[in-house]
A and B are shown apart, each in its own frame.
Chain A
């Protein structure tokens, strides 16, 4: 029981990271129907930005997080401008191949610029454990930070999407691009904002993963990127709460499989979930009830 609860806590922390990445996938897919393969590599960029901000410039957690988010938001907008915008009217397969190209570029560019070695992320928070329920559940400071930041980001995102003008424009464009454009919404700018927000969330995930697992390297984005995409599909792509639910479920399942079974099966489980979901409920867990898409 104690082990199970502990695995759940670890799973939720990992799941929060997947959820943050999945949000970016889901928002971009909702608005331009593109699986942004490069998203996982934006997360890697975010982790490196955080790493340099903390280790080279000796900034504390919050400023590093903000710098990392800003850098990734810019990178996301730049990628959208250079690689995706010219293909807006091209077949979707072209855009998908471009996305794969951008992803490979960032990964291998990262290998060249940052060198392939795994770097140790500096310790930002004190190593301290809190016990709850008479020692049944132990939470480290890191767990608390990851979960808190995820919840804060989620609240901010909900506010942004449902209470601001940009959010309204995003919802309008994802609902009907042409109609939104006729109503005076600047579709192009709105798509740029979506990329920026999604990338900033990936940056948060990157910094958090650096803090949680203490290591960053240029190819760290591949697997989490794919799994976060699976999380987005699991929850129902285009749906914000779905991405969070999917991310948490994938994180927990994976941790339980690694904890009780063979850790080598870890990577296979997420893909098996994906195929089952695609076959049984292609619209995702929350796909039917929620129609609002961003």
Chain B
């Protein structure tokens, strides 16, 4: 850690805090109305989902389309804790995320032996099974949905959890663990030959992704008073995947931009439901045909680029971009 990077971290930290404080003040004073603050929170949740899925799809290179299922585990677990046991949000969040983590582990251990599209279908299958479990469980409302969840998610919670997600995943990727994951993505057989325990790293990355998906789910549940199993079907997984693909698989900055873009589009086009999805699907197809690597590819937006210097990938680049 040289002096220069410390300075950069401080700049990013200051920018994050200032951005948070500004929005918080705007919300408090009512300049940002309830509709917009709701969408800002949703944006943070979507960024968490996209970045955590990107860890699995983009950096580990394993095709998972069951992210909404893991999210729903976090959502339902935390909702049960706050609704039936009156626990504070922080406990519900941690337990929800850990439950999703555990579910991720259960999904990962058998399915990660599979490759490519088979893995995709298996994760989709698990996601659907999780949905059916909630659908048939009457204590959580069954098909009607879980009503009366206290609204505990605030801008502060959503924003700082999002920042935490980005920092943890960014640091994970920059660590030797993350490098091993990228090696697995590039060539699994070669990675194994270099002595990387591929199963271990796959499971590790998958459970970390699941953890943050669960945390995002917990925030989501406490933002809308109610959750339904249908909200977490594979269409939701595709939604998250769109964000990741749009931004670029293997770029955290890309996922953040993708999540912001999708949230804004969702809000702007909410009055024309089917039209919006047609637009998404065309976007997805055109993206794959003409720019399969996504907007950012595997590159990151860093502070060095802003300052006109070329250097190592900024440690906190992701934070900066979200601001």
- B288-A116 in contact (CB<8A): no
Interface of A is mostly: helix
A287 at the binding interface (Cβ < 8 Å): no
Structural contact, A271 and B116, CB atoms closer than 8 A: no
B121 within 8 A of A: yes
CA distance A278 to B116 in the complex (A): 13
Interchain nearest-CB distance for B84 vs A (Å): 22
B193 lies within 8 A of chain A by Cβ: no
A74 contacts the other chain (Cβ, under 8 Å)?
A: no
- The verdict on B303 contacting chain A, using a C-beta distance below 8 Å, is no
Q: Which of A50-58, A92-100, A187-195, A205-213 contacts B (4 or more CB under 8 A)?
A: A92-100
- Given the interface contacts A93-B116, A104-B284, A268-B128, does A116 sit within 8 Å of B292 by beta carbon? no
Residues of A within 8 A of B278 (CB): 105, 108-109, 112
Interface residues of B in 113-150 (CB under 8 A from A): 113-114, 116-118, 120-122, 124-126, 128-129, 132-133, 135-136, 143
**Contact indicator per residue, chain B 226-253, by CB within 8 Å of chain A (1) or not (0):** 0000000000001001000100000000
Does B289 lie within 8 Å of A98, measured CB to CB? yes
Q: Residues of B contacting A91 with CB < 8 Å?
A: 292
Q: Which residues of A contact B273 (CB under 8 A)?
A: 111
| Residue pair B289, A87 in contact (C-beta under 8 Å) | yes
> Are A35 and B117 interface neighbours, CB within 8 A?
yes
User: Residue of A at shortest CB range from B57?
Assistant: A93
Q: Quick check: A278 and B288 within 8 Å, CB to CB? A: no
Residues in chain A near residue B11, CB distance under 8 A:
none
Contact status B285-A93, CB under 8 Å? no
Question: B110: which A residues are within 8 A, CB to CB?
Answer: 275, 279
Complex Cα–Cα for A272 and B132 (A): 11
CB-CB < 8 A to B135: which residues of A? 264
- Interfacial chain B residues near A111, Cβ < 8 Å: 273-274, 277
A150 to chain B, nearest CB (A): 24
User: At the interface, yes or no: B281 with Cβ under 8 Å from chain A?
Assistant: yes
Residue from A34, A35, A98, A103 in contact with B121 in the complex, judged by beta carbons closer than 8 Å: A35
Q: Is B121's CB under 8 angstroms from A274's CB?
A: yes
Q: Is B153 an interface residue (CB 8 A)?
A: no
A259 within 8 A of B: no
Docked pose: A275 CA to B63 CA in angstroms: 16
In B21-57, which residues have CB < 8 Å from any A CB?
A: none
Q: How far, in angstroms, from A109 to B63 measured CA to CA in the complex?
A: 26
Q: Judging by beta carbons under 8 Å apart, are A267 and B292 in contact?
A: no
Contact at A96–B63, with CB atoms within 8 Å?
yes
Residues A264 and B121 in contact in the complex (CB < 8 Å), given A83-B289, A112-B275: no
Instruction: Knowing A35-B121, A87-B288 are in contact, say whether A262-B136 is a contact too (CB < 8 A).
Output: yes
Which of B65, B113, B288 is close to A98, meaning CB atoms less than 8 Å apart? B288
Do A105 and B274 touch across chains, with their CB atoms under 8 A apart? no
**CB of B282 within 8 A of chain A?**
yes
Closest approach, in angstroms, between the C-beta of B201 and any C-beta of chain A?
19
In the bound complex, do residue A108 and residue B63 qualify as a contact, i.e. CB atoms below 8 Å apart?
A: no
Check if B111 is an interface residue, CB within 8 A of chain A.
yes
- Who on chain A is nearest to B62 by CB? A93
B83 at the interface (CB under 8 A from A): no
Cβ of B280 under 8 Å from chain A: yes
Contact A278 B111 (CB under 8 A): yes
A101-B285, A101-B288, A226-B124 given as contacts; is B274 within 8 A of A265 (CB)?
no
Q: Given A86-B289, A278-B114, are A101 and B284 neighbors across the interface (CB < 8 Å)?
A: yes
Flag if A275 contacts B289 (CB, 8 Å).
Answer: no
> Apart from A108-B281, A271-B129, what 10 extra A-B contacts exist at CB < 8 Å?
A83-B285, A96-B117, A104-B277, A107-B277, A111-B273, A229-B121, A264-B132, A265-B136, A275-B125, A279-B110
For this complex, 23 residue pairs linking A to B, each with C-beta atoms less than 8 Å apart, are A91-B292, A92-B117, A93-B63, A93-B116, A94-B292, A98-B284, A101-B281, A104-B281, A111-B274, A112-B278, A226-B128, A233-B118, A264-B136, A264-B143, A267-B132, A268-B132, A271-B125, A271-B126, A272-B129, A274-B122, A274-B125, A275-B122, A278-B114
Q: Which residues of A contact B (CB under 8 A)?
A: 34-35, 83, 86-87, 90-98, 100-105, 107-109, 111-112, 116, 226, 229-230, 233, 262, 264-265, 267-268, 271-272, 274-275, 278-279, 282
